[in-house]
Amino acid sequence: MSRFRAFVLKEFYHIFRDRRTAAILFGMPVLQLLLFGYAIRNEINEVKLGICDLSHDTVTRKLTTKLLSTGTFIAIDNLHNPEEINQTFASGLVDEVIVFEPAFASRLQRVGVGHVQVITDGSDPNVSRIITGYTLSVIQDYLREYLKEKSGDTPHAGVISVTVMMFNPALKSVYLFVPGLMALILMLVSALMTSISITREKENGTMEVLLVFSLKPAQIIIGKVVPYVLLAFINLITILALAFFVFGVPCRGSVVLLLLESLLFIGTALSLGIFISTITASQQAAMMISLAGLLLPTILLSGFIFPVASMPLPLQVISNIIPAKWYLIIVRAIMLKGASFSYVWKETMVLVVMTAILVTASIIKFSERLQ
């Protein structure tokens, strides 16, 4: 037991004496959460709007007022000539320009059709699509009421869809990012840090001494891993607390279940890190493999940012071997949907099996001798 304590103590010395590592370990979760929470948002705010009203009648004026009163748009410019549009976009003054055709109100009254042109900056397609959709829905809303008032009945008696967003009615992107960040940070701390710290012993030649000191590989590895389990757990609590207190992300399901599932995921990530360190000889190689082989797929293929369902089939198949994908499903289910274990047992089993395979592979690969 004292052997084990000595090992863990030594590992903590390594972590805290290298100020950069310590800063990254403890600062990173906070920084990333704040970044994702504040800076990188999908909601649309403060859209800079330019109006090119070639009609100047009561309807277009009312429509403009309606748009601005939603609070999403800020009026920036009134254009008098459609030819100015290009230049206005190029100078970056506006995100969107709305053009009302001449004699908009009278045409609407006579034919029942008025032409509105919505022009957006397509260089950011996501934002552009969201703005357009939002603008059109506001305009249609208004027109429906206007025509109803005029004629006394609903002109297009077709389907009217009413959308309700379950679990995240306000469509806050923080809800999406928090589970993803949990996966990312736990992966980083557990897999990257352990693989680097084990290969560092190989590089410095201390592994050689430890082996000759009659230590069994399991003792060496457990001694190395325990501190990182602890660190990862601290990070997890930090993220959850920040998410709850700063961004109001709830945990609708059982917190205990969430923590247990996270512990399992930490285990998976650690075994991945150990496995990487058994197949690499240098810190540099371990870092490259961890970054390219773990972090990018965790970000890109797990459903963190891009939904798995919208990926091409080959990527969907690959995404199945990304542990973060399964963890993400579990976390979203527990946190946002309040799901109990009976809903996530399949995903949990996947993680258990992955961990078992990785641990077995590491034991086979880890040699008590040098290659």
Partner 1 sequence: MTSKTAVRVTGLTKHFGSVEALREINLAIHEGELFGFIGADGAGKTTLFRILCALLLPDKGNAEVLGFDTVTAFREIRKRIGYMPGRFSLYQDLSVEENLRFFATVFGTTIKANYELIKDIYSQLEPFRNRMAGKLSGGMKQKLALSCALVHRPELLLLDEPTTGVDAVSRREFWQMLGKLQKKGITILVSTPYMDEAALCDRIAFLQNGATLGIDTPKGIVSLFTRPLYAVRSLQKHILINTLRQYEHAASVYAFGSCVHYTDKRPSLDQGELQAYLTSCGLNGVQIEHIEPSIEDTFIALLEEKGGLKNA
- How far apart are the C-alpha atoms of 64 and 48, rounded to whole Å? 13
CB count within 10 Å of CB 149 equals 8
Nearer to partner 1, 149 or 368 (CB): 368
Shortest Å, Cβ 367 to partner 1: 9
Shortest Å, Cβ 278 to partner 1: 16
- The answer to whether 322 touches 297, Cβ cutoff 8 Å, is yes
Token representation of residue 57: 């009648």
Token representation of residue 276: 């990487």
Nearer to partner 1, 66 or 200 (CB): 200
Nearer to partner 1, 141 or 208 (CB): 208
CB count within 10 Å of CB 288 equals 13
Nearer to partner 1, 5 or 56 (CB): 5
CB under 8 Å to 246, separation ≥6 — which residues? 33, 34, 37
Shortest Å, Cβ 195 to partner 1: 18
Nearer to partner 1, 12 or 233 (CB): 12
Shortest Å, Cβ 4 to partner 1: 9
Question: What is the three-class DSSP state of 100?
Answer: strand
Sheet (strand 116-120) strand order: 73-78, 47-53, 96-100, 116-120
Largest Cα–Cα distance of the chain, in whole Å?
A: 95
Shortest Å, Cβ 365 to partner 1: 16
Buried b (16+ CB within 10 A) or exposed e, 100-121: beeebbebbeeeeebeeeebbb
Could you tell me which residues are beta bridge partners of residue 77? 50
Nearer to partner 1, 205 or 314 (CB): 205
Nearer to partner 1, 17 or 80 (CB): 17
CB under 8 Å to 153, separation ≥6 — which residues? none
Shortest Å, Cβ 2 to partner 1: 6
Under the rule (CB under 8 A), what is the footprint of partner 1? 2-3, 5-7, 9-10, 13-14, 17-18, 204-206, 208-215, 368-370
Shortest Å, Cβ 196 to partner 1: 14
Amino acid at the residue 348: T
- How far apart are the C-alpha atoms of 11 and 274, rounded to whole Å? 15
Token representation of residue 338: 């309040």
Angstrom distances, CA of residue 350 to CA of 169, 205, 238, 292: 31, 37, 26, 23
Place of tokens 């805290």: 16
**Which letter does DSSP use for residue 17 in this model?**
H
Q: How far is CA 133 from the centre of its chain?
A: 23
Shortest Å, Cβ 5 to partner 1: 8
Nearer to partner 1, 1 or 39 (CB): 1
Shortest Å, Cβ 217 to partner 1: 12
Nearer to partner 1, 201 or 347 (CB): 201
Nearer to partner 1, 13 or 345 (CB): 13
Shortest Å, Cβ 291 to partner 1: 23
